[in-house]
Each structure stands twice: as C-alpha cells, then as structure tokens.
Amino acid sequence: MLVQLSLVFIIVWLLVLRWERRRMIQLASKFGSPNLWQLPVIGHSYVFIGSDEDRMTAFQKLGRKTNNTKEGIISFWQGHKLYLSVSDPKSAEFILKNCLEKDDIMKISRLTTGNGTVFAPVKIWRPRRKVLAPTFSPKNLLEFAKIFSRQSDIMVEQLKPVAHSKDVSIWNFVNTYTLDSVCESTLGVSIHAQKLIEQPLLKSLEQITILDSARMCQPWLYSDTIYKMMPAYKRHTKCRKMIFDFINEVIRAKRNLMQEEKSLLKSESEQAVRQEGVRSFLELLIESSGGDKGYTDLELQEETVVLVVAGTDTSAVGTSFTILLLSKHLDVQEKIYQELQEVFGDSKRPIVPEDLPRLKYLDAVIRESLRLYPPVPVIVRKVENEITLPSGETLVKGTGILVHIWAINRNPKYWGDDADLFRPERFIDTPLKHPAAFISFSYGPRACLGYQYAMMSMKTAMANLLRNYQFLPASNAGTKQPIRLRFDIMMKSVENFTVQIKPRF
C-alpha cells in the first residue's frame, strides 16, 4: 500500500511539474535540443559528468551544435530547469543588456565569495560597482602600468633558472605575477608571491574553483543541505578558510598602514594632497566601511576576495594561453619580436605606459588568443520577466541563459570559415561584424570593469617575456597538436601550459 501511494505521489508530482513548466517545454521545442536523450529528473546534466576535461569537451560540443543552428540558440535541461545556449551575437547583446540578474546557479560561487560584485544580485551589484569604477580610471591605470612593468621584471628573473629545462609549466610563474600585480595595484599591499616557494593561497583558489565547477554541472548537488553532507564540502570549507584568512590579513595590514599615514599627515592640507593621489580599491572600500551606510566587515571581505579571484585568474589564463599559442606559431612570435625591436631596440630599459599603444601587433595577438581561448568560456543569466528577442521569440520567466562566449567568439557566420584558426591579422585588417561578436570580457552593463587593466597587464607581461625569451612547443607537443582544455569556472590547459623556454641572450 505504501509503495502504491508513493508511486501515485511521484506521478502526480511529475504531472504538476510538467504543467507548471508547459511554457518552458514549448519554448524548448522551438529551439530544439542538442540531439541527446533527456533523462527524467536530471535532464541533460549527465553530459557534464566526468573530469574537468570532460566538462569542457561537453561545453565545446554544445557550442558547436549551437553555432550550427539557424537562430544560434539551442535548448537543454539541467535537472528540471530549462537553459538556452546562445551563440548568436545579436541575441547575446540583447540578453546581456536586458537580463542583468545572474542565474540561480551562481549561488554556488557565492558560497565561495559571498555577495562580491561579480557574482552579486543586481540590487547589491549596482551600488557597489559605483565604488569599484574609480579604481580603473585612466589616472590609476597609468600608475598600475609601472607596477606591471616592475612585477614582470621579477617574472623574467624567476624564469632564468628553468629556461634551459626540457619542459616547463609557465602557469605558476604567470599566476604569481598576476597575484603580485593585483595585490600591489588594487589592494595597495606587496605580498611577494613570485619569490615564495609554497603557494597555499593559489592552491586553495584552484581547488575551490574545481569543486565549484563540478557542483555547477551536477543538479543533485545544488541543495546546500545535500552538498554539506558530501566530502567535497569539507575540502571546500578548508580552502575557503585559507582564502579568507589571507584576505583578512591583507585588510588588517592595510588598515594599520592607512592609520599610520593619517597620523603622519597631521595637517588637513597634507591629508588633502594624499587624497588627490592614486588610491587603491581597498583604500576606497575601507574608507567606505563603517557607519550606517558604509560597508560592513563582511562586505569588505567579499569585495576583496572577488577582486583577488577575478583579477588574478583571468589575466593569468589569458597570458598563459597566448604563450602557449606563440610556442606553436613561431612566425607570429617572430613578428612580435621584430615589433619589440622597433620600439625598444637593444635597450634594456623598463616598459613605460607610452610603449604599450605602439605594440599594435602584440595587441592583436592577445585579442586573437582571447577570442579562441576566453578565460571564462560561458556565463549564465536569468530571465526575470518575459522578454522578446530581436528574432521575435519570447523568453519565459525563470529560463536560464547560457551565453556561450567560446562559441560566439568562434561563430563562423561572423568570423568566417577560418574561425577556429589562430590569425591575429583579423584584429588589424577586419572590423568586427557585430560589437558582441567578441565578448571575452562579457558585454553590456555587467561587462568586466577591469578590461583595460587586464589588457595592460597581459601586454606588459608578454612584451617583457618576449624581449628576453623565445617559447617553443613542449617536447611531446607538436605545432599542429590541439590544445587539450579543462573547465574549472575558468578554461585552462590540461597540460598546465607546458612549453620550452629559450633565452634570447
């Protein structure tokens, strides 16, 4: 009797659920599915089960299938929720301008970072973005360029002992460079990560993103109650504590330093002069904390964590993929070196901000690398109110939108038949066919505020590295061998960006 009642309950529940989702089911049928079996309860989520390399392969297949449709949109079910994968720039532009709320799945990232700006709901994101924006002003960027130059000099020195090795993973060198740069430029503190043997912070950051990405692809782990019973949650908690302990120490040190400076600058005029100088993002946040309307200590921690996580990984991934591509395209690498020779000659002088606009071919190479290998391959938004796409299709409230950056950046309708080829000249001789055809830093009101910051950091690092080293393919990787990819929120190389390094002098 109990079994029969249970079966009746399940059948009734499924019928009610289907009735409630009838409009989503109709919407899904309009756009079609990726020609895969939709299983009860879990939908198509079984496709994303496996290793981080398997998940990235699944996202690539989904992107190619989306590009092969007329509308550049395809539907799939993640558990009981409908998602639309979008690779058409026109639809993506409309969605990113009108659907500002992050999808519910991003609550998983908020377990790591809290309500930091990048992952926060709109009501939190909007006022906090106004505080963050001045950090990336042109005046600040000029000062940051000096930091990038100095930190990249350290990276060049750190590579010397391994430059003659057979194969070298450049990931840790680039990642510590970006971490040092982020901490000094936006937090106003020096942590000397490049000179430390152990990197517990970076290990925790990498481990926690792997855990988060695996959970995002498995709807049965969306429930916090269920997830907290899993072994992964214990590892997640340990990594999160490590990250927040580091952030709290940075905030404490900065607060003490600001208090000391304030006590030394006794007169109001001296303090006014200090206020007019370049101030870090952390300084602005600390000054905005406390009081009825200021940031709480928790909010201060959240914003600082997001800045370190987002600022470090994106630039590091972008730079590392560029190096990896150049190791496979020695002709392109040589053209960059000739450009560097025209700007610097045989001089050993440091890179200054005025040099960067002259490096036009290097700029095109980095953009082409970001097009083919965007650090964040997909982003997700939520339809909060019914909206109608330019194509005429109405999106139902509650639908999740997966804006497929990897697929948009390779859409042959906008990039041509050679969309999968590495050809930097396309950013020199061909204007974009649509402003949202290249969105490696997202698009619309919630696009990455640090876009210019990241480009300046990557350009400075690449210029300094290529002035001193030539990069060759790893001993087991030919120039034609495709790059194996993995997904852990960011897109990275399975082989950990392994190359051979040859000193130029």
Q: Per-residue pLDDT tens for 469-502?
A: 999 999 887 777 889 999 998 999 999 999 999 9
User: Which pLDDT value is given to residue 164?
Assistant: 83
Domain assignment present for 234: yes
Residue 239: C-alpha distances to residues 70, 206, 244, 332, 351 (Å): 44, 9, 9, 40, 36
Average predicted confidence (pLDDT) for the chain: 89
Domain assignment present for 121: yes
User: Which pLDDT value is given to residue 211?
Assistant: 93
Q: Per-residue pLDDT tens for 425-464?
A: 999 988 999 999 999 999 999 999 889 999 999 999 999 9
- Residue with structure tokens 């200590």? 297
Pick out the residues of the known binding site for heme.
448
Residue 351: C-alpha distances to residues 138, 382, 461 (Å): 17, 43, 10
Domain assignment present for 425: yes
Which backbone phi and psi does 269 adopt, to 5 degrees?
A: -65, -40
Amino acid at 244: F
Percent of the chain with pLDDT over 90: 59
Q: What is the rounded CA–CA span in Å between residue 209 and residue 211?
A: 5
- For residue 276, pLDDT over 90 is answered with no
Taking alpha carbons only, the member of 152, 160, 203 closest to residue 180 is 152
Alpha-carbon Rg for the chain in angstroms = 24
Q: Per-residue pLDDT tens for 137-194?
A: 888 888 899 999 999 999 999 999 999 888 999 999 999 999 999 999 888 888 899 9
Pick out the residues of the known binding site.
448
Give the SS3 label for residue 81.
strand
Q: What is the chain's length?
A: 505
Give the SS3 label for residue 286.
helix
- For residue 109, pLDDT over 90 is answered with no
Query: What is the DSSP pairing of strand 168-169 with strand 498-503?
Result: antiparallel
With bands split at pLDDT 50, 70 and 90, how would you rate the model's confidence at 232? very high
With bands split at pLDDT 50, 70 and 90, how would you rate the model's confidence at 369? very high
Contact 117, 306 (CB under 8 A): yes
Give the SS3 label for residue 113.
helix
With bands split at pLDDT 50, 70 and 90, how would you rate the model's confidence at 6? low
- For residue 15, pLDDT over 70 is answered with no
- For residue 7, pLDDT over 80 is answered with no
Domain assignment present for 136: yes
Domain assignment present for 34: no
- For residue 22, pLDDT over 80 is answered with no
Q: What is the rounded CA–CA span in Å between residue 364 and residue 423?
A: 9
> What is the extent of the structural domain holding 496?
44-503
Taking alpha carbons only, the member of 485, 390, 504, 394 closest to residue 94 is 390
Q: Per-residue pLDDT tens for 72-100?
A: 999 999 988 999 999 999 999 999 999 99
Both tokens of residue 244? Answer: 């927040």
Domain assignment present for 257: yes
Task: Over range 240-244, report the average pLDDT.
Answer: 93
Domain assignment present for 362: yes
Task: Give the distance from CA 167 to its chain's centroid.
Answer: 27
- For residue 271, pLDDT over 80 is answered with no
Domain assignment present for 17: no
Count how many domains the chain has.
1
User: Which pLDDT value is given to residue 12?
Assistant: 59
CATH number for the domain harbouring residue 205:
1.10.630.10
